[in-house]
């Protein structure tokens, strides 16, 4: 296909995805992946610059996810959130790995990629749903966000530890990452809080964040690692600073606007372009088994603990934590680009990731919204504080 047509086609897909997202109430990321999948199966292929920008988009999404974490709540509710998050990661990771290796006959490395990709919970999906339903500032919303962070931290650690090939450049990557995070924590205020930069059209604050993330990517490629973990930690470290003042919150909003306007859509569309629908159809049985296994292991890992720690929304919590998207796609793309999985395996994994982003979310919002007064009382008693929910869902929604 002519090179000049590809950027035009992608630009149109990005615009239409946004309009459909507003119309249908679905996550725009899900629509972008679906459009990318359809376009890829009709012959559209990504150009080299798109592939690199897609990689940057994945790292940027990871950073933004880290900035959304409520660090105070994470400290206060460390035990329940850690237990929920870790089991949400470990059971799907172990279950999918064992199934892929011993039943499906995948290679050891491919099975590890499968376990990593399907162990995730989509922080982007969870955050969007909680904001849209008015639950983001409630105790249940904050608990789910914090537990999701722990799950994704487990995924990020797995990607960084299991697939790294230690060399002297790996040590350089680790050293640079640690020092960049430390220095950013100590000195970012000189840029983020400088009155000289406020309201400037050149947006030095956003370029500063981009420069840090590009440094992670450069040294990660040099050390044959991945920039996901340091980007996540950097976002976590900077989350308090970016939420400290109205001016800094505006910086975060502008950063999110720039990201979601063009960079992250490229990530999701390029991810979809590599999915082969005929290959999924040729292994539809395996696709169904992987999807069912992800949901079952998530249920076992989350539901019973959630009944104890989130009694007014245990099924809602379980379903939201069964979603996957960003990290699952990142892990799948990483495995495919590294030659650890083939295109059939990649298509199956991304297909399962997309399905898990749509189906559990729909079921959770349709039938398991935690709205009853007795649920709120139970949650209040369990957490030892008040629980404030935003706008109420439609009449007829149920709790557990």
Q: How confident is the model at residue 155 (pLDDT cuts 50, 70, 90)?
A: confident
Domains and CATH numbers, the chain: 5-163+261-383 (1.20.1530.20)
**pLDDT of residue 112 exceeding 80:** yes
Look at residue 132 in the predicted model and tell me its pLDDT. Answer: 67
Q: State the average pLDDT over residues 221-229.
A: 78
245-290: per-residue pLDDT in tens?
777 778 788 888 888 888 888 988 887 887 788 888 889 999 999 9
Q: Cα angle vertex 388, ends 386, 392, to 5°?
A: 145
Q: pLDDT band for position 382 (50/70/90)?
A: very low
- Per residue in 4-23, pLDDT (tens digit) is 788 899 999 999 988 988 88
Which tens digit of pLDDT belongs to each residue from 27-36?
777 788 889 8
Percent of the chain at pLDDT > 90 equals 25
**How long a stretch of residues is the chain?**
400
Flag whether pLDDT at 88 surpasses 90: yes
When pLDDT is averaged across residues 379-389 and rounded to a whole number, the result is: 42
The mean pLDDT of the chain is 81
pLDDT exceeds cutoff 60 at 67:
yes
What band does 373 get if pLDDT is binned at 50, 70 and 90? very low
385/186: higher pLDDT: 186
Burial of 62 (0-12, 13-18, 19+ CB in 10 A): buried
Range with the largest mean pLDDT of 182-186, 268-272, 284-288, 396-400: 284-288
**Are the C-beta atoms of residues 35 and 24 closer than 8 Å to each other?**
no
Per-residue pLDDT band at 197 (split at 50, 70, 90): low
Q: Which residue has better confidence, 150 or 239?
A: 150
Above 70 in pLDDT, residue 369?
Answer: yes
In the predicted structure, residue 372 carries a pLDDT above the cut 50: no
Largest CA distance in the chain: 63
The confidence score (pLDDT) of residue 91 equals 95
Quick one: average pLDDT of 355-384? 65
pLDDT at residue 109 in the model? 93
């Amino acid at each position: 296909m002519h090179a000049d047509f590809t950027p035009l086609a992608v630009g149109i897909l990005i615009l239409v995805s946004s309009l459909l997202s507003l119309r249908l109430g679905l996550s725009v990321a899900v629509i972008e992946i679906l459009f990318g999948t359809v376009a890829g199966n009709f012959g559209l292929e990504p150009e080299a610059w798109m592939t690199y920008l897609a990689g940057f988009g994945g790292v940027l999404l990871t950073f933004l996810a880290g900035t959304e974490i409520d660090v105070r709540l994470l400290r206060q509710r460390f035990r329940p959130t850690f237990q929920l998050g870790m089991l949400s990661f470990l059971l799907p990771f172990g279950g999918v790995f064992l199934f892929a290796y011993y039943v499906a006959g995948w290679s050891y490395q491919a099975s590890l990629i499968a376990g990593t990709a399907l162990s995730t919970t989509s922080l982007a999906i969870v955050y969007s749903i909680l904001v849209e339903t008015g639950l983001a500032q409630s105790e249940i919303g904050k608990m789910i966000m914090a537990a999701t962070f722990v799950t994704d931290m487990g995924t990020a650690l797995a990607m960084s530890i299991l697939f790294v090939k230690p060399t002297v450049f790996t040590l350089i990557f680790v050293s640079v990452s640690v020092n960049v995070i430390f220095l950013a924590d100590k000195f970012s205020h000189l840029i983020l809080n400088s009155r000289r930069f406020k309201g400037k059209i050149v947006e030095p604050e956003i370029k500063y964040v981009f420069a840090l993330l590009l440094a992670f990517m450069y040294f990660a490629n040099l050390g044959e690692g991945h920039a996901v973990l340091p980007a996540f930690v950097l976002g976590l470290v900077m989350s308090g600073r970016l939420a400290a003042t109205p001016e800094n919150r505006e910086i975060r909003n502008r950063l999110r606007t720039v990201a979601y306007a063009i960079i992250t859509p490229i990530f999701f569309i390029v991810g979809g372009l590599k999915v082969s629908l005929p290959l999924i159809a040729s292994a539809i049985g395996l696709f169904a088994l992987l999807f069912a296994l992800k949901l079952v292991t998530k249920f076992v890992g989350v539901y019973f603990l959630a009944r104890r720690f989130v009694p007014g929304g245990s099924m809602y919590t379980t379903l939201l934590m069964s979603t996957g998207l960003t990290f699952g796609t990142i892990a799948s793309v990483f495995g495919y680009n590294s030659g650890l999985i083939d295109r059939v395996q990649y298509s199956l994994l991304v297909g399962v990731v997309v399905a898990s982003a749509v189906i559990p979310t729909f079921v959770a919002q349709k039938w398991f919204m935690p709205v009853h007064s007795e649920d709120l009382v139970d949650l209040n008693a369990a957490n030892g504080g008040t629980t404030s929910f935003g706008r109420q869902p439609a009449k007829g929604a149920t709790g557990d």
